[in-house]
Amino acid sequence: MQTVIGLEIHAQLQTETKLFCGCSADYFGKEPNSNTCPVCLGMPGTLPVINKRAVDYGLRAALALNCEIPERSKFDRKNYFYPDLPKGYQISQFDEPLAVNGYLKLNGEKIRIRRVHLEEDAGKLIHQSGGTSSVDLNRVGVPLIEIVTEPDLNSPKDARDFMEKLRQILRYVEVCSGDMEKGSLRCDANISLSDNEEMGTKTEVKNMNSFRAVESALRFEENRQKETLESGGKIDQVTLGWDADAEEARPMRSKEEAHDYRYFPEPDLVPLVIDEDWKERIEENLPELPREKERRWKKEYDLPDYDVGVLTEDKEIAGYFEQAVDEYDSPKEISNWIMSELFRVLKLPETELSDVEPGDFAYLVELVGEGEINDNTAKDVLERAFTESKSPKEIVEEEGLKRISDEGALTEKIEAVIEENPDAVEDFRSGNEKVLGYLIGQLMSKTEGQADPNKAREILKEKL
């Protein structure tokens, strides 16, 4: 049996203001109903004014997803009655969306994107114990893009990978934070199973607020449909809600049952005309996308594919890597240090990438590469640089952490070791080369691991 999945994704655009009024688009965590005005509350007599930045962001996302941009698109009213929607309709785009016919490549295959359109978000109902519900309208009117894929995905894992890839792109072009836990990126998944050429009846799964949930919910529903079909049953076209705690998708009491949205053109907004100039302006300002970056890196840096994948995952990390390599031209060493130590330190509380400049990070990696400082000391310095807001250089210099490779200083310590260990020295002189290791050990503990072992060995042999 073949599984078929198509996704409908909502991504919140990171504009300053809402889609049709001057209220802040940053509603998260605010006092309920404080972030509103007569326009987004849908008061009679108010008129929407389109936020140009939101259109720009929608275009950035659409172009990054290889879409065509029709010259004309328009807004429509999608009517439904629900307490989270004070106007009684949502302004969306119905038959003339902002963008069409795109794709996103996943494991070499094109997953087609049917459309990308602009719309405003609704508010939030808060269901309380005791059977009452409250409404918070802070989110009403926040700009979203809806991205609709063709049913081109064939497994729950692919659906998850697609979402992660999409998030990466939206973050690269800086239009959406991609935070699924906070609802900035949401996904409704349609899934059906069939054992012939035709697609089966689909069900829709909602309320997944993590990538893991997308995969688990779809796996659950895939199994349920499979069991139903294999035992001769029929699939009803229903909407299901994912309950992450119970790990189960259950039919929702849907607000959209037998819906008739009665779409009609929004009379208060003129159609959007995106001319070539506008499109070009957006295209020219698009940053290098992950795919392009990966290709360029493979040419420029001699790095394993794995490293390239990990480091280009996040645009900030990718930029950090590039700047560090500018300072210290040893991509593999920089890469190793980012993937192991930098990632470890960034997981500690209150550390951020911006705490240590990439050039300062590169300086530390270079010290290790040149044998000026040992691995463990460097790891410790890096962690402290992030937590104590000092540069690695300051820490290394203030505390004299560099290896002792200066001949004079080393010779002095070595002479002391020889004097303190007459028996071992005697052993060596009577032919037991192995005690050299022991003597080096003594020197290391005397210098707290900072003696340059190769140089020390040379001097020690000479002295003996």
* Binding-site size, ligand ADP (CB under 6 A): 14
Contact between 93 and ligand ADP by CB under 6 A: the answer reads no
Considering only residues 202 to 241 of the shown chain, the ones binding ligand ADP according to CB under 6 A are 202
Contact between 191 and ligand ADP by CB under 6 A: the answer reads yes
Name every residue whose Cβ is closer than 8 Å to that of residue 23 and which is 6 or more positions away in sequence. Answer: 17, 35, 36, 37, 39, 40, 141
Residue pointed to by tokens 């022991």: 438
- Return d(Cα 202, Cα 189) in angstroms, integer: 10
Select from 4-12, 74-82, 129-137, 270-278 the region that touches ligand ADP (CB under 6 A): 4-12
Contact between 58 and ligand ADP by CB under 6 A: the answer reads no
Residue 26 CB, shortest distance to ligand ADP, in Å, is: 29
Q: Which residue is nearest to ligand ADP (CB)?
A: 6
Q: Report the partner that residue 191 touches, choosing among Zn ion, ligand ADP, none (CB closer than 5 to 8 A by kind).
A: ligand ADP
3-state secondary structure of 165: helix
| Helix and strand totals (H; E) in the chain | 16, 15
Name every residue whose Cβ is closer than 8 Å to that of residue 203 and which is 6 or more positions away in sequence. Answer: 190, 191, 192, 221, 225, 235, 236, 237, 238, 239, 240
C-beta of residue 181 within 8 angstroms of C-beta of residue 158: no
Q: Which of 6, 86, 97, 392 binds ligand ADP (CB under 6 A)?
A: 6
Contact between 115 and ligand ADP by CB under 6 A: the answer reads no
Residue 154 CB, shortest distance to ligand ADP, in Å, is: 10
| Of residues 8 and 357, the one with the C-beta less far from ligand ADP | 8
Residue 219 CB, shortest distance to ligand ADP, in Å, is: 15
Select from 187-195, 258-266, 341-349, 403-411 the region that touches ligand ADP (CB under 6 A): 187-195
Residue 378 CB, shortest distance to Zn ion, in Å, is: 52
- Return d(Cα 60, Cα 289) in angstroms, integer: 11
| Of residues 166 and 414, the one with the C-beta less far from ligand ADP | 166
Contact between 190 and ligand ADP by CB under 6 A: the answer reads yes
DSSP assignment letter at 431:
T
| Of residues 129 and 196, the one with the C-beta less far from ligand ADP | 196
Q: Report the partner that residue 37 touches, choosing among ligand ADP, Zn ion, none (CB closer than 5 to 8 A by kind).
A: Zn ion
β strands within 80-184, DSSP E:
89-92, 99-106, 109-120, 124-127, 133-136, 143-149
- Return d(Cα 224, Cα 76) in angstroms, integer: 37
**Residues engaged in binding ligand ADP (CB under 6 A):** 4-8, 148-151, 190-192, 199, 202
